[in-house]
Structures are given as C-alpha cells and as structure tokens.
Amino acid sequence: MDTPDFKVRTRAKLADRTMHAVLWLVALTFVGVLLVFVGAILKQGWPELNLHFLTSMPKTLDAGGGIAPELLNSLYLVAISLILALPIGVGAGIYMAEYAGQGRALRFFRLCVETLAATPSIVLALFGMILFVQMMGWSFSIRSGAFTLALLNVPVITRVTEESLRAVPRELIEASYGLGATKLQTILKVALPYAATGILTGVVLTAGRAFGESAILVFTAGTNTSDKFPDFRLSVPGETLSVHLWYVTSDGTLPDASQIAAGTAAVMILVLLVLNLLVRLLDRAIRRRTR
C-alpha cells in the first residue's frame, strides 16, 4: 500500500488555529463589552457616590436624596427570599437527583420545575400581587416581595442542586454505601458536601438575579419605603435599588433624577461585583476543605 499524502493534515491544523483565534476573539469581545458597560456606569455614577448618598433617605421632590433604605431593602429581600427558597429548592433538588428515580415522576416533576423557571417575571409579579398582596392581605410589603421572589429562586436552586448532586463521582457514592452508610447518610455526608460548591455558585447567581429583579418587586414590595431607617419589619413596603432606579427615571419629579439613577446603578454594579468576589473566596475555602 502506498503511503497516502499525509500533508492534508495541514488543513486540519489551519482549521484548528483559526478556530482557536475565533474563540479567543469571542471571549475578548465578552470581556470588552463588560468592561465598557461597567466602565460607563461607574464613570457616570462615581461622582454621586459618597457617604451622604449611601446613608440618607430618598427625597420625593427635592434634589440631594440618598438610597439608604433601598440598599438595605435590596439585601434584606434577597436574604429573606433565599431563606425561603433554599430549603425548598435544595430539598426538591435532592429529591430529583436521588429519590425520583428515572421514570415518569421525575420527568413530570422536571417539567414543572422548568416551566416555573421559564415563567416571565412579570407573570410571577402579577401572581404574587394577587396571592400575597390582595388575597393574603399583606399589601405592598417586604414579605409579599420576599415570597414572590422566592418563587423565582426555587426552580433555579432546584435545578442547580440536582445537577450538582448528579455530578458527584459515582465512586464516592459507592464508597459510602460500601462502608455501610444508609442513603440519607450518603447524601448528607458525601454527596451534599461534594456538591456544595456547585450549589453555592447557583445560589449566588440566583441572589444576583433576585438583586436585580424589578418587575416582581414593583408589584409586590412597592415603590415606597418605610419612613424609619433601618426598618426590619416585614409588613412595611420595601422599595429596592432596582425599583428605585426604575422609579426615579420614569416618574421624573426629582430634579436630580439622572444623577440619582447613575449613582444607584453604580452601587448595584459594585454590590454585584463584591457578591461575586465573596463567592469566589467562599468557594475556594469549601473546595480546599472538601476536595
């Protein structure tokens, strides 16, 4: 047999290099877009960022208002919604990964979770308004907002938990059973610790999304804040940063609306950056302990 012309390989090599360059460019584009975007927001908002802006109450008609209650409400709402969503989401994720088996029940349950995850937030918002604000009589309040926000969070956490658990190496699960562990012991002592970083990452993504959510909160937590600061009552209205941002720009009664908006946007971006950074650190700490 003749040796074939192996030089055709050069084409494959060329394609390989081209693809490498293309993908690199795509990645670079992403970084570029992000940098321009974050840069623009921070550049506009930076002059507004000062202690006064962060610590004083907003004003309805005059210039010089702050965003203290909005910042607090944002974090507070996200925290409460996570406290509500975590046990349900993680529990459902465990059920789907470990107990539902492979049959119809799992498929049906997954369909439900995915439908819920794909529901537009405005639909959730109206649902939350009808259920919590009107039927439950909670009016526009932190708790109405937190419960509705939790509806947004649960399917994501469920999905992330399930996938993280499925990614736990089979060998570890077998090792645990092999030592005489029960199913519950195996899940609690081996699977969940291993899946923790994955779940944590998912939770933070959820938190970020909830932090930026506006539609749901406009209809459930309201566009006002309590007169007191700080006010941790669950029954008071709880306007968040994103709602505030939307409100000041669309209402137009504030003389310094654009400055307030720029400052609010910058604060939101900064909070998200800090949040992501925190997760990185936490993730690394857990990973070091468990892998």
Partner 1 sequence: MLNPQIPETKPVKLAVRGMNFWYGEKKILHDLSMDIHAERATAIIGPSGCGKSTFLKCFNRIHEVSSQVRVTGDMLMDGVDINRGGIDQVDLRRRVGMVFQKPNPFPRSIYENVAFGPRLFGVRDRATLDDLVEDALRKAALWDEVKDRLKDSATGMSGGQQQRLCIARALAVHPEVLLMDEPCSALDPIATSKIEELIFELKDSLTIVIVTHNMQQAARVSDYTAFFWLGKMVEMDLTERIFTTPRERMTEDYITGRFG
Q: Give the whole-angstrom CA distance, residue 212 versus residue 102.
A: 36
Judged by CB under 8 A, how many residues of this single chain contact partner 1? 23
Q: Give the whole-angstrom CA distance, residue 212 versus residue 192.
A: 28
- The nearer residue to partner 1, 116 or 200, going by C-beta atoms, is 200
Nearest approach, Cβ of residue 285 and partner 1 (Å): 13
Which residues are 238's β-sheet partners? 225
Contact partners, residue 242, CB within 8 Å, separation at least 6: 74, 211, 212, 213, 214, 217, 268
- The nearer residue to partner 1, 234 or 286, going by C-beta atoms, is 286
Residue among 76, 194, 211, 247 that touches partner 1 (CB under 8 A) = 194
- Asked if 114 interacts with partner 1 (CB under 8 A), we say no
- Asked if 284 interacts with partner 1 (CB under 8 A), we say no
DSSP 3-state assignment of 238? strand
- The nearer residue to partner 1, 60 or 182, going by C-beta atoms, is 182
- The nearer residue to partner 1, 2 or 171, going by C-beta atoms, is 171
Which residues are 225's β-sheet partners? 238
Q: Which residue has the tokens 């008071």?
A: 236
Nearest approach, Cβ of residue 111 and partner 1 (Å): 24
Could you give the C-alpha distances from 20 to 12, 24, 25, in angstroms and in order?
Answer: 12, 6, 9
**What's 4's DSSP letter?**
P
Contact partners, residue 91, CB within 8 Å, separation at least 6: none
How open is the CA angle 64-67-70, to the nearest 5 degrees? 155
Task: Map the footprint of partner 1 across residues 170-189, applying CB under 8 A.
Answer: 170-182, 185, 189
**What's 253's DSSP letter?**
-
Window 25-64: contact mask with partner 1 (x via CB under 8 A): ----------------------------------------
Nearest approach, Cβ of residue 105 and partner 1 (Å): 16
- Asked if 167 interacts with partner 1 (CB under 8 A), we say no
- Asked if 2 interacts with partner 1 (CB under 8 A), we say no
Instruction: Provide the binding-site residues for partner 1, judged by CB under 8 A.
Output: 169-182, 185, 189-190, 193-194, 288-291
